[in-house]
């Protein structure tokens, strides 16, 4: 049984969409459908059902789902063992989306300085989903925004960074508006909102409501780096976590301090204490704390 076909099946279930799975895998929707049909023919049972653009597993699809995930990971582990001689196999590391281009490169650089032979598979997802995946054993460790629920008993959490909210504005605001009054800028300027479906967006929404600010909203989007790039182009102003990733934009944006205390986004590492790779997971968490604290 081709593990690439199994991976296509699993990714389709995770995305609940053939087209989204195709984009993630870098193949056409037709190729995704063909792979799943090949699996269904081999197993003699339908594995998915379609309802509009949404895909759900059939009863037989649910039956093989966990086993398929395990077969995919076993295949990756065997490859990693043969190539590196490491009996622990492949480390499965997750990251929230904006962490892929901000925290993760520095963290992987440090990890490979200390463990040059380790094989790592990186995936990304919303932080809540990452925490669930570590808990279930799908991931060994993840870089995530601290969840609003209690950390699972089979997992450990280490905070690596606090990110208070800050107002970011185009450079022209330094001369055209008072840089002393962040709230006036928020009320008067076109506003780019961090999507309220995300935890970071909920922090922003809470701050605005706490201070009775109704911004002149221009658009809403769930991507810190995209928001910052739009601000740099003068599209509007935004309230965002003060991530060091903003430094990559240099002088193309300006930060305006908010009065008083603000909500804080907490970044950390969560790892499974039941993983066979728990020792290296702990090491990576410590590297992250030293790098970003």
Instruction: Give the DSSP H or E segment for 283.
Output: helix 278-292
Contacts of range 203-212, beta carbons closer than 8 Å, 24 or more positions apart: 203/165, 203/241, 203/263, 203/264, 203/265, 204/165, 204/239, 204/240, 204/263, 206/263, 207/165, 207/239, 207/258, 207/262, 207/263, 208/239, 211/183
pLDDT over 50 at 87, yes or no:
no
Q: Name the token pair of 54.
A: 């949404």
CB atoms within 10 A of CB 192: 23
Domains in the chain and their CATH numbers?
Answer: 3-65 (1.10.10.10), 84-161+266-292 (3.40.190.10), 162-265 (3.40.190.10)
Q: What is the pLDDT of residues 11-66, one digit of tens each?
A: 888 888 888 888 888 889 889 889 888 888 888 888 888 877 788 888 888 888 88
pLDDT at 287: 94
Closest CA to 76 of 122, 35, 142, 9: 122
% of the chain beyond a pLDDT of 70: 92
At 124-151, the pLDDT tens digits run: 888 999 999 999 888 999 999 998 888 8
Average pLDDT on 269-290 reads 93
pLDDT given for residue 82 in this prediction: 58
pLDDT of residue 248 exceeding 80, the answer is no
């Amino acid at each position: 049984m081709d593990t690439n076909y199994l991976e296509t099946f699993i990714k389709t279930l995770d995305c609940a969409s053939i087209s989204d799975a195709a984009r993630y895998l870098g193949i056409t929707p037709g190729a995704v459908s063909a792979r799943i049909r090949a699996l269904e023919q081999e197993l003699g049972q339908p594995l998915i059902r379609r309802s509009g653009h949404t895909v759900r597993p059939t009863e037989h699809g649910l039956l093989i789902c966990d086993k398929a995930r395990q077969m995919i990971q076993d295949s990756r582990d065997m490859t990693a063992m043969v190539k590196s001689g490491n009996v622990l196999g492949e480390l499965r590391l997750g990251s929230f989306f904006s962490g892929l281009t901000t925290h993760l490169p520095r963290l992987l650089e440090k990890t490979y300085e200390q463990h040059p032979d380790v094989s790592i598979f990186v995936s990304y997802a919303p932080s809540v989903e990452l925490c669930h995946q570590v808990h279930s054993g799908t991931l060994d460790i993840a870089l995530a925004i601290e969840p609003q629920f209690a950390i699972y008993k089979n997992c450990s959490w280490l905070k690596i960074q606090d990110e208070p909210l800050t107002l970011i504005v185009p450079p022209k605001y330094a001369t055209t508006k008072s840089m002393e009054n962040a709230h006036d800028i928020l009320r008067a300027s076109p506003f780019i909102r961090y999507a309220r479906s995300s935890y970071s967006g909920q922090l922003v929404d809470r701050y605005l409501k706490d201070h009775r600010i109704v911004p002149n909203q221009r658009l809403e989007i769930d991507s810190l780096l995209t928001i910052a790039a739009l601000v740099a182009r003068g599209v509007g102003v935004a309230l965002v976590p003060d991530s060091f990733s903003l430094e990559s934009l240099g002088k193309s944006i300006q930060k305006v301090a908010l009065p008083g205390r603000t909500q804080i986004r907490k970044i950390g590492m969560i790892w499974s204490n039941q993983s066979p790779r728990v020792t290296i997971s702990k090491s990576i968490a410590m590297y992250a704390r030293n790098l970003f604290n």
